[in-house]
């Protein structure tokens, strides 16, 4: 089945700093890739997605590009805000896997 390896946290940044959270995947075939965000005490919200190689997902200033050659889907944001503080999950589905596979999650704290 699929697996997703995500950068260990927690990550603490100052406001307006550049953010990268690494995510790599293993899969048979070509999965769809997602980044979900979870704010304290809430469920998961889809942040962005990419369904095929070289696709770039983007939303709210966040971006991630589906890189087949490096099997990666790293999340980036040029200038983080305090309100971005949350847990971020990388996930994949498809290829040989029928269920969503999550990474371990990365806690991001942005300080003013």
Binding interface with other proteins (CB under 8 A): 32, 34, 36, 41-46, 49, 51, 89, 93-94, 99-100, 102-105, 107
DSSP state at residue 67: B
CA 22 – CA 50 distance, rounded (Å): 15
**Quick one: 53 or 78, whose CB is closer to other proteins?**
53
Among 83, 88, 108, which residue's Cα sits nearest to residue 34?
88
Q: How far is the CB of 55 from other proteins (least distance, A)?
A: 11
**Quick one: 12 or 79, whose CB is closer to other proteins?**
12
Q: How far is the CB of 62 from other proteins (least distance, A)?
A: 16
Assign 83 to helix, strand or coil. Answer: helix
Q: How many CB atoms lie within 10 A of CB 10?
A: 10
Q: How far is the CB of 16 from other proteins (least distance, A)?
A: 27
Computed on alpha carbons and rounded to an integer, the radius of gyration of the chain in Å comes to 13
Beta bridge partners of 77: 19, 62
**Quick one: 59 or 72, whose CB is closer to other proteins?**
59
Q: How far is the CB of 34 from other proteins (least distance, A)?
A: 7
């Amino acid at each position: 089945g699929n697996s997703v390896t995500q950068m260990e946290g927690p990550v603490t940044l100052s406001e307006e700093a550049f953010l990268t959270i690494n995510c790599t995947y293993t899969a048979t075939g070509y999965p769809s890739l997602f980044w979900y965000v979870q704010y304290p005490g809430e469920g998961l919200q889809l942040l962005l997605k990419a369904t095929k190689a070289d696709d770039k997902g983007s939303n709210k200033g966040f971006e991630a590009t589906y890189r087949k050659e490096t099997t990666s889907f790293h999340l980036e944001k040029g200038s983080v805000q305090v309100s971005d503080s949350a847990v971020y999950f990388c996930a994949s589905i498809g290829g040989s896997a029928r269920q969503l596979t999550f990474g371990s999650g990365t806690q991001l704290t942005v300080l003013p």
